[in-house]
A and B are shown apart, each in its own frame.
Chain A
Amino acid sequence: GAGVSQSPRYKVAKRGQDVALRCDPISGHVSLFWYQQALGQGPEFLTYFQNEAQLDKSGLPSDRFFAERPEGSVSTLKIQRTQQEDSAVYLCASSLAGGPAYEQYFGPGTRLTVT
């Protein structure tokens, strides 16, 4: 079956531009996570949804970052007024049941480069 998909796979933005990154989780998966991964580092948690409810957004680095999952399926991570330090791979993951204590299935990521 289809896995987690993310689009675009690559995005180049000029500093100050807004970007929107999309995640399509595995159908029926309740939980959805966003992570930011810098080169050579482990993923860093950004935010977590259970269905359409955003239960934890403690990892979002600033108020320029915003995530939504309005119908409990597709999610969008939006970054406003991008800065160079936002350059990273943004990973989306989904899991079948509520809560992180279940195997997470990761998408291929979106590599964002801010110039």
Chain B
Amino acid sequence: GQNIDQPTEMTATEGAIVQINCTYQTSGFNGLFWYQQHAGEAPTFLSYNVLDGLEEKGRFSSFLSRSKGYSYLLLKELQMKDSASYLCAVDNYGQNFVFGPGTRLSVLP
């Protein structure tokens, strides 16, 4: 079966660092994506991990451990505009694309 878990909600303070975790159990695995989705808008691409390790891109980094079925998205120097939902999604061996439920992040002043 397909199962992707993320925390439902998180709150952090402007300027802080936050880590959003994602665990997955899927019938196939060819890579993991992170998307950001502001309320009422379309998801936008943040990162893609296919190999174990950390991928850094500016204030955002994403980590993957294939053996543990685990990923996290790290957001540094939080800004108010980072308040959004963060979706992890597994590329299921080219068969389809499975999204997690999303983590709603609120950044407080």
Residues of A within 8 A of B (CB): 4, 33, 35, 40-45, 48, 56, 58-59, 91, 99-101, 103-109
Contacts and interface: CB of A to CB of B under 8 A. Distances in A.
B21 to A, nearest CB: 15
A42 B31 contact: no
B91 A101 contact: yes
Given A103-B45, A109-B42, A59 B96 contact: yes
Interface in B83-100: 87, 89, 91-92, 94-100
A101 B87 contact: no
Nearest to A47: B96
A104 B102 contact: no
A106 B95 contact: no
A50 B33 CA distance: 20
Contacts, number: 58
Nearest to B104: A40
Contacts of A41: 101-102
A51 B33 CA distance: 23
Contacts of A43: 43, 87, 99
Contact of A42 (B48, B92, B95, B99): B99
A45 B42 contact: no
Given A103-B33, A104-B97, A106-B42, 7 more contacts: A42-B100, A42-B102, A43-B99, A44-B99, A45-B99, A58-B95, A100-B96
B95 A56 contact: yes
B30 interface: yes
Interface in B56-109: 87, 89, 91-92, 94-102, 104
